[in-house]
Amino acid sequence: MASIFTRIIAGELPARFVWRDERSVAFLTRNPLAPGHTLVVPIRELDHWIDLPPDLAAHLWSVAQRVGRAQQAAFSPVKVGVLVVGEEVPHAHVHLVPFHHLHQLDLANAEADPDPAALDDAAERLRAALRTDGHAEVAG
């Protein structure tokens, strides 16, 4: 059975994509820890990050850096935190969280019912920052 991320990537479920290339996508999470909280996901469905082929893992980290720089520009956080947990969805993914306070990196603090307009705004801010950095992979 396809993971929820595979279904999102295939367009079966909606998402606010900010990046798409031949090997990966990045989209805003439905339950953010902070404005701009983004997931970087390989298109290939692999459950655990340790099972990623080295070249795919390197590619995901490269995308994560590019999206992280855009988050830094768009939201001016203290830092962009990285979480690799994978318990909630059996499809490897990297959480990128622009944060101002360390407690924002606690998954227990995820927003259950975020404002769709705020999510749309965050996605567009990220896309604009990625475009400013010259990335043709901007999605959306």
Taking 80 as the threshold, does the pLDDT of residue 85 lie above it? Answer: yes
Q: In this predicted model, what pLDDT tens digit does every residue of 6-28 receive, in sequence order?
A: 999 999 999 999 999 999 999 99
Across the range 96-115, mean pLDDT stands at 95
Instruction: Name the residue ranges covered by the structural domains of the chain.
Output: 4-132
Quote the pLDDT of residue 124: 98
What's the number of CA atoms in the CB half-sphere (13 Å) around residue 1? 4
Percent of the chain exceeding pLDDT 90 equals 95
pLDDT of residue 140: 77
Farthest-apart Cα atoms in the chain, separation = 39
In the predicted model, what is the mean pLDDT of residues 65-86? Answer: 97
- As a whole number, the mean pLDDT across the chain is 96
Query: pTM of the entire structure?
Result: 0.96
Given this model, what pLDDT does residue 27 score? 98
Q: What is the pLDDT of residue 86?
A: 84
Categorize the per-residue pLDDT at 88 as very low, low, confident or very high, splitting at 50, 70 and 90.
confident
Residues 4-132: name the CATH superfamily.
HIT-like (3.30.428.10)
In this predicted structure, the answer to whether residue 1 has a pLDDT above a threshold of 90 is no
Q: What is the pLDDT of residues 40-75, one digit of tens each?
A: 999 999 999 999 999 999 999 999 999 999 999 999
